[in-house]
Amino acid sequence: MRILVTGGAGFIGSHLCERLLNEGHDVICLDNLFTGSRDNIIHLMDSHRFELIRHDIVEPILLEVDRIYNLACPASPVHYQYNPVKTVKTSVMGAINMLGMAKRVKARILQASTSEVYGDPQVHPQTEGYWGNVNPIGIRSCYDEGKRVAETLMMDYHRQNGVDIRIIRIFNTYGPRMAENDGRVVSNFILQALRNQDITVYGDGSQTRSFCYVSDLVEGMIRMMECDNFTGPVNLGNPVENSILEFAQKIITIANSSSKITFKPLPQDDPKQRQPDISLAGARLGWKPLVALDEGLVATAGYFAARIGKG
């Protein structure tokens, strides 16, 4: 098949492009290289079945493809809050442009949505039936509400125009090729531990997250794209939940680091708890994550160690 991956030069997108190429597909990576980089896909450039198009998804484009994975959107709070208006445009106009293309060329389209549609959740763990607790006017809203509108657009193009859609809600995912400067907890803590610097826990560290290794996520994405008669939304994530303080301690141990933990102010609207209920993905896709947290963190720490010359 000819497959378009928007945001394909980013962290998750680059792993997806690699996997799709390995499966024998033609892959077009569309990216404006805002948070992604050529480094992430340089090893794919030699393949005659791989193509990079430098393009901003906010502008329309027409490509003849069979599948569209719509991932283009900065994902870390530091990056999506850098230019919040652009973040909303990327999610909303990007979804409209990709859905318009899907409608015209009759492609199936998968939208990368997020656990952030649940906001600071009052239902725990989060099931797909939960409508969420999102602040519409806070500093995370440009991302959360942008993704919620992207989901709405997907459903409306499906109901109104019969577009073949899939929606996945991705929970915190980590692995090699996360950007060093993206401010997310996994990259921050690993880099701090490798450099024996203080580990910056925001708040008292009692807030929780559940971390999924990128290869598990990519498997779930492809299963969802290729399954029949199921639009989703479906949660994809690893249900093993850790407090951020426990997570900091785990990383110090894995990196064999002499770092100390230091506490910084908790950012506004930081969700207090997050854990996916993945029963639906299990039932409909036969999917569950396979990579244990320690195993995935060792691989990720190895990647960052090589990046900063400590490998």
- Please give the positions annotated as active site: 143
Q: Is residue 73 at the binding interface for ligand NAD, with CB under 6 A as the rule?
A: yes
Does residue 275 belong to the site contacting ligand UDP (CB under 6 A)? no
Contact residue for ligand NAD among 23, 33, 206, 264 (CB under 6 A): 33
Per the CB < 8 A criterion, the answer to whether 169 and 128 are in contact is yes
Do 144 and 134 form a contact (C-beta atoms < 8 A)? yes
Binding window for ligand NAD (CB under 6 A); candidates: 73-81, 222-230, 248-256, 294-302: 73-81
Task: Pick the stretch among 19-27, 71-79, 134-142, 301-309 that binds ligand NAD (CB under 6 A).
Answer: 71-79
Of residues 206-235, which lie at the interface with ligand UDP (CB under 6 A)?
207, 209
Helix (H) / strand (E) containing 158 = helix 141-161
Site for ligand UDP in 11-70 (CB under 6 A): none
Applying CB under 6 A, does 95 fall inside the site for ligand UDP? no
In angstroms, give the least distance from the CB of 192 to ligand UDP: 8
Choices 25-33, 195-203, 219-227, 294-302 (CB under 6 A): range interacting with ligand UDP: 195-203
- Interface size with ligand UDP, residues (CB under 6 A): 14
Footprint of ligand NAD on 165-204 (CB under 6 A): 170, 172-173, 179
Q: Which does 267 bind (CB under 5 to 8 A by kind): ligand UDP, ligand NAD, none?
A: ligand UDP
Beta carbons of 126 and 182 less than 8 angstroms apart:
no
**Please, which residue, 77 or 94, has the CB nearer to ligand UDP?**
77
Q: Binding mask 35-64 vs ligand NAD (x if CB under 6 A, - otherwise)?
A: xx-------------------xxx------
211 with 296: CB under 8 angstroms?
yes
Q: Are strands 173-174 and 212-213 parallel, antiparallel or unpaired?
A: parallel
Contacts of 175 (CB under 8 A, 6+ apart): 11, 15, 213, 214, 215, 296, 299, 300, 303
Q: 162: phi > 0 → left, psi -120 to 50 → alpha, else beta; which?
A: left
Q: Return the exposure string of 134-155: e unless at least 16 CB atoms fall within 10 Å of the residue's CB, then b.
A: beeeeebbbbbbbbbebbebbb
